[in-house]
Amino acid sequence: MPPPEVVLFDRDGTLVVDVPYNGDPALVQPVRGAREALDRLRARGVRIGMVTNQSGIARGMITRDQADAVNARVLELLGPFDDVQVCPHGPGDGCACRKPAPGMVLAAADRLGVAPARVAVVGDIGADVGAARAAGARGVLVPTPVTLAAEVDAADEVADDIGAAVALLLGGDDPGASAQARPSLDRR
């Protein structure tokens, strides 16, 4: 399978250590290997985006300005990013953007001028890969302690960490491939 043209990453638990409802940029800490993995994609000409559910805005726990400040810190530490999509809605709002709905993936693909089939989404929970699947994109799950076993079982592709996810997406043509990369668990 050829590498994707665009890779969209979930923010919390995938790019940065998950701090629930984080509104403080000072608490942003990249996950181990994130910068190196993103730089490998950039070196190959793969565009990068971030797609993040931020229900804390709808719940009144953080403001949009706080969420934007946290996103700006992520970009400062890990950027540049070609696109950033934020869903400010809560789980019961019925929007088309909140993962696992495909809205943010489709919006990023449209904004970057690429077909969803040439996009991959990397995330730590089933909603991330569900959004990819719903959009017609490729999804790679990187399990963390919050990932449910059923989400791992349902994922088409699973990687041990962000570096392994990038290695999986780039295939055998990745000189920076991590030893933890596993072949696809293609369950389609």
Residues forming the active site = 10, 12
Amino acid at residue number 43 = A
Strand 6-9's sheet: what is its strand order? Answer: 83-87, 47-53, 6-9, 119-123, 138-141
> Which residues does residue 52 pair with via DSSP β-bridges, in sequence order?
86
Distance of alpha carbon 104 from alpha carbon 54, whole angstroms: 12
- Per the CB < 8 A criterion, the answer to whether 109 and 137 are in contact is yes
- Per the CB < 8 A criterion, the answer to whether 11 and 74 are in contact is yes
Residue with tokens 């403001």: 63
Distance of alpha carbon 24 from alpha carbon 62, whole angstroms: 9
Distance of alpha carbon 71 from alpha carbon 65, whole angstroms: 10
Distances in Å between the alpha carbon of 80 and those of 2, 37, 75? 23, 13, 6
Other CB atoms within 10 Å distance of the CB of residue 80: 10
